[in-house]
Structure 1
Amino acid sequence: MQRETSMKFTEEHEWLRVEDGDVVVVGITEHAAEQLGDVVFVELPEVGTTVTKDEEVVVIESVKAASDILAPIDGEVVEVNEALVDEPGKVNDDPEGESWFFKVKVEDLSVMDDYMDEAAYKAFIG
């Protein structure tokens, strides 16, 4: 599995990666996917939706539980990973790569500084 070193991580087990200057890609970590178990349903936001930090933006259901993914950053949803709607189990296959949830165009990238780098996240879950 190839992973970007520029990823940031939240205490809610989400990862964020800046793409194309002001677009942030959001997904859940491998740790979160393992905790959830087999994902059977994913509900994504609509493209064009404005999201606010800490607002519920994605619903995931697994064989174990239902979880809400909160927006880690303010912005406008510019793309969603439609493949996850048809094949939610992909979340378990590559949570930190191909199985991202949505992309958000943000105005202030400095909020990324509030999140953990990979080493800090590993210590957090360790």
Structure 2
Amino acid sequence: MNRYETVAAQYIAAWNETDAGARAALIEKHWADGATYTDPLAAIEGRDAIAAAIGAVQGQFAGLVFSLGGAVDGHHDVVRFTWHLGPAGEEPIVIGFDVAELDAEDRITAVHGFLDKVPAGV
């Protein structure tokens, strides 16, 4: 697994972690202090806010899981990947595309997210 695939896997793991304490530990380890997350529905800063946003998404989509939607690509300190959210092994309900910026230790400093497929009413 190359460094970009590792970062994407760690990112997906944080989004799938339902235990708040374990999720916070993953974010503490793999996200830089002051990291930001921006998508069409949110613009947040800081590990605590990111952890809370992930928890809120899990509450909204209880029982669904995130997975990588294809190959992970990157160059320099930037990684991009498509992700899916849906029932395990089934057609995704939500599809997104994220671009993450990394620091020198491969911790995420910023995520720029795009939503390609979203259910009505979200």
* TM-score of Structure 1 vs Structure 2, range by shorter chain: 0.3 to 0.5
TM-score for the superposition, normalised by structure 1:
0.32
Structure having the higher strand fraction is 2
More helix by share: 2
Q: Which has the higher contact order (CA 8 A, sep 6+)?
A: 1
